[in-house]
Structure 1
Amino acid sequence: MKDIIKGFGFLSAGFISLLLAACTGAGKSGQQTASEKQALPNIVYIISDDQAWTDYGFTGHPYIQTPHIDRLAQEGRTYTRGYSVAPLCSPSLATLITGVYPQQHGITGNDPRFDFEGKRYSKEWMLERRQRFQPWLDRFQQHPTVPQLLADRGYLSFQSGKWWGGHWKEGGFTGGMTHGDVTRGGRHGDEGLKIGREGLRPVFDFIDDAMAQDKPFFLWYAPFLPHAPHTPPDSLLQKYIDKTPSEAVARYWAMCEWFDQTIGELLQELEDKGLSENTLVVYACDNGWIQDPEKSNAYMPGSKQDPNEIGIRTPLIFRWPNRIKPGLDTTTLVSTIDLVPTMLDAAAVPALPAMPGLSMLDAKALEARDTIFAIDFDHDMVSADDPGASLQHRMVLTHPWKLIDPEPANEPGQPELYNIFDDPFETNNLAGEYPEVVAKLKASLNGWWKP
């Protein structure tokens, strides 16, 4: 029997979990037998904030040191050709918690677009923003989140770091840090943004509480790192300051290592408490970043908010000892749309019909898929009912091509076609040489979603 299960390879974890679920017959009450509780993994969801796929030790950066993420990548199943569905924080994170695309959950940008005579991000602007944001929040909350779906399996859940969806309770978490009160700075995380930058005690206390209750747990760890403001510890800044003529770049590099250090602390906590073996750790980044060498806390074109590789590409890592076979995959195209189905599969929770992603535990489905999609909207959202109103680009990727298709109404221009396996930094637009490929990929985009 062991040989048969072994033959399923990457599929075996999800297969075993589903088999256990069928045998135990757990209901929606959240009650499980002792054997099922033992089978349910804890899930730790680590999300980087504004970091290029090139800015890790294991992806080859010559200076940035990320030993803890490197180790995680070595111990897990790591896909270096992972892609975020969108190159902007809020729509990307909304997908990471719901498992549906931005045009489905409706969060296409960071803020609603509205006329305002005063200063953006002032208290008055924040109050107006919150009122204007309600239609988008209502649409977003029509899609169940991972914490809500895991609750029926008895999971405790905790929100820390970035969170755009109001109070943590509105995301279905059983605990958290973000209050969402605009009169106290609530917009994209408020108190939650302290995690990592000011230690990890709230996260450690949550883990202790879950252990005391003998409950499996889901942790959303999305710290405001390496996101601006780039204010690293001086010891890290001094480590990089002589490696680049730009202090702005040195600060960003130091932030990447600071983020890595917090991951090291988190993983060590799991190990010290004997939780590593039965914990699925999932790693991703919301969107990319190219540091402006002349201006601190600023990014360059072609990264955040743009459809280019540096804007959407991210390593995706899955570590689950003795369940997921470690290995480095440098060719398979995978997407952050796949992360929610994977976590649900690990917990023996069926993915919802609206979720288009694949479970990374299903090797056959992953092998059969040859196309993934991404999308780029304006920073400010125009309509909760019409996502296409602020659409800028749709992207489709398949071996070896990537097509960037601009939306004529909002982003004039011509389609761009790149062989991203030979040209990962998109220096040679081949759209004029391969019109038949452009036509085929555009048809694929229209079949996926056409505004």
Structure 2
Amino acid sequence: GMGGIPAMKVLYPLFVFFLTTSAEELTGSHVIQGPKAINVKHSDGDRSNDIANITQSEGVASSKSTKPNIVLLLADDLGYGDLSWSGHPTSRTPHLDRLAATSRYLTHFYVSSPICSPSRASLLTGRYQIRSGVYPGVFSPNNVLGLPTNETTIATLLKAQGYSTLAVGKWHLGVGANREYLPTQHGFQEYLGIPYSHDMCPCRTCFPNDGPCYDLCWKWDVSCPLFSNSTIVEQPVDLTSLTERYVDHALNFIETKHQQKQPFFVYLPFNHVHHPQFASSVHQGVSSRGRFGDSLLELDWAVGRIMATLKNTGAHRNTLVWFTSDNGPSMTRHERGGCAGPLRCGKGTTWEGGIRVPSIVHWPAKIKPG
């Protein structure tokens, strides 16, 4: 386990190939205004040398062909007790179970915030969210600001070291009046995904507590935009095919970069298992845990496809795969919410259920299972 250390405190050491479990204390001025005016100055210094040094350490050569690849898989609202690996009686997660059994499973892994945007800001920058100003709330579609462009992300650092960088999935760190806060402005060379949670898209016909109407609304009457880089390519987006498209795009990127002997960083923040849950027709009605279980099953399928492709291409031994969740489960959705297992409370609280999440690190060349 990680001994209670928040996720952002181990982000760079973990990403930067699991060589240490502490991070240098970050200093700088900050603004505590929620996700709004966040032009924050900081004095962390140049981290690019840190990345350069570590990518060449532990016998890892600096050539493009031998730098380790990184794949970060981020679930949305997945609880500590949601995987069948952790003992949930009705969950089916065979691929994640297999990944956990062959990887380092971090039993005491804590994220920096129990809600989405602050947690993701910390995850990508390695800084407490209060320092970037992405605090205490989340970005909504009518916000015109986002993660400050003067913040340094792991993608920015890896891109500077010759990595190809891709973000595919739910961003939720702002769009901007001129789309200046999208992933392509934060070190990612390519982006495909929706910019915020799919429950934030306008629904004109019914109130969320009206279950049957809400189901119909989310299937037919949402207007979530799907971005390719900074261009909207579909609106409303077809949620039922979204996960498959995410995975196909990521796998095409992985296969292409591997063939080119180009090191890559893939950040894949899924929409699953955030409410209202959805799944493709292949996974609908298949689980014994209702709509939530179907969504979880599709998430598991996606992880399985990614791991299989890494193995089939031969890239897996030199690829660090990290699977985790942005925060704990929604506890107010009843059968549509997740499970924190033995932990108290969930999303939106700073009890353990809100910030202690599943975390699996896989890197056959460097990390022993356990």
- TM-score in terms of structure 2 length: 0.66
Shift of 1:253: 2.0
Aligned: 1:218 with 2:265: yes
Aligned: 1:177 with 2:192: yes
Do the aligned residues in 1 keep the contact of 2:331 with 2:346 (CA within 8 Å)?
Answer: no
Do the aligned residues in 1 keep the contact of 2:191 with 2:227 (CA within 8 Å)?
Answer: no
1:368 maps to which residue? Answer: none
Shift of 1:293: 6.3
Aligned match of 2:155 in 147, 152, 159? 147
Shift of 1:72: 1.3
| Partner Cα separation in structure 2 for residue 56 and residue 299 of structure 1 | 9
Shift of 1:312: 1.2
2:143 maps to which residue? Answer: 130
Aligned match of 2:326 in 283, 286, 289? 286
1:304 maps to which residue? Answer: 347
Do the aligned residues in 2 keep the contact of 1:57 with 1:64 (CA within 8 Å)?
Answer: yes
Shift of 1:141: 2.4
Aligned: 1:157 with 2:165: yes
Describe how 1:92-131 pairs up with structure 2 within 5 A: 92-111=119-138, 126=141, 129-131=142-144
| Partner Cα separation in structure 2 for residue 155 and residue 215 of structure 1 | 7
Larger radius of gyration: 1
Aligned: 1:21 with 2:48: no
| Structure with greater proportional strand content | 1
Describe how 1:304-323 pairs up with structure 2 within 5 A: 304-323=347-366
| Partner Cα separation in structure 2 for residue 187 and residue 45 of structure 1 | 21
Shift of 1:223: 1.1
Describe how 1:233-272 pairs up with structure 2 within 5 A: 233=280, 236-241=283-288, 250-272=290-312
1:388-442 Cα deviation digits (max 9, x unpaired): xxxxxxxxxxxxxxxxxxxxxxxxxxxxxxxxxxxxxxxxxxxxxxxxxxxxxxx
1:231 maps to which residue? Answer: 278
| Partner Cα separation in structure 1 for residue 275 and residue 292 of structure 2 | 8
| Partner Cα separation in structure 1 for residue 308 and residue 102 of structure 2 | 14
1:13-55 Cα deviation digits (max 9, x unpaired): 749x94873799xxxxxxxx98633431100001010111100
| Partner Cα separation in structure 2 for residue 187 and residue 90 of structure 1 | 18
Do the aligned residues in 2 keep the contact of 1:76 with 1:324 (CA within 8 Å)?
Answer: yes
2:215 maps to which residue? Answer: none
1:207 maps to which residue? Answer: 254
| Partner Cα separation in structure 2 for residue 232 and residue 20 of structure 1 | 38
| Partner Cα separation in structure 1 for residue 331 and residue 284 of structure 2 | 15
Do the aligned residues in 2 keep the contact of 1:196 with 1:262 (CA within 8 Å)?
Answer: yes
Question: 1:310–1:154: structure 2 CA closer, same or farther, 3 Å change rule?
Answer: same
| Partner Cα separation in structure 2 for residue 326 and residue 99 of structure 1 | 25
Q: Secondary structure at the match of 1:266?
A: helix
Match for 2:188: what amino acid?
F
| Partner Cα separation in structure 2 for residue 290 and residue 12 of structure 1 | 31
Alpha-carbon RMSD across the aligned residues, in angstroms, is 3.7
Aligned match of 1:79 in 106, 109, 117? 106
Do the aligned residues in 2 keep the contact of 1:64 with 1:254 (CA within 8 Å)?
Answer: no
2:118 maps to which residue? Answer: 91
Q: Secondary structure at the match of 1:83?
A: coil
Shift of 1:283: 1.3
Question: 1:171–1:19: structure 2 CA closer, same or farther, 3 Å change rule?
Answer: closer
| Partner Cα separation in structure 1 for residue 337 and residue 369 of structure 2 | 36
Do the aligned residues in 2 keep the contact of 1:79 with 1:315 (CA within 8 Å)?
Answer: yes
Q: Bigger CA drift: 192-201 or 72-81?
A: 192-201
- TM-score in terms of structure 1 length: 0.55
| Partner Cα separation in structure 2 for residue 297 and residue 23 of structure 1 | 42
1:338 maps to which residue? Answer: none
Aligned: 1:60 with 2:103: no
| Partner Cα separation in structure 2 for residue 159 and residue 179 of structure 1 | 11
1:217-246 Cα deviation digits (max 9, x unpaired): 0000111111222123466453444xxxxx
2:26 maps to which residue? Answer: none
1:125-163 Cα deviation digits (max 9, x unpaired): x4xx233xx2x53xx322201110011211000001111
| Structure with greater proportional helix content | 1
Q: Secondary structure at the match of 1:265?
A: helix
Q: Secondary structure at the match of 1:238?
A: coil
Question: 1:41–1:255: structure 2 CA closer, same or farther, 3 Å change rule?
Answer: same
Q: Secondary structure at the match of 1:263?
A: helix
Percentage identity across paired residues of the two chains: 28
Do the aligned residues in 1 keep the contact of 2:192 with 2:246 (CA within 8 Å)?
Answer: no
Question: 1:292–1:254: structure 2 CA closer, same or farther, 3 Å change rule?
Answer: farther
Q: Secondary structure at the match of 1:163?
A: coil
Shift of 1:200: 1.8
Q: Bigger CA drift: 140-149 or 46-55?
A: 140-149
Q: Secondary structure at the match of 2:349?
A: coil
Moved over 6 A (4+): 181-184, 187-194, 297-301
Q: Bigger CA drift: 261-270 or 311-320?
A: 311-320
1:386 maps to which residue? Answer: none
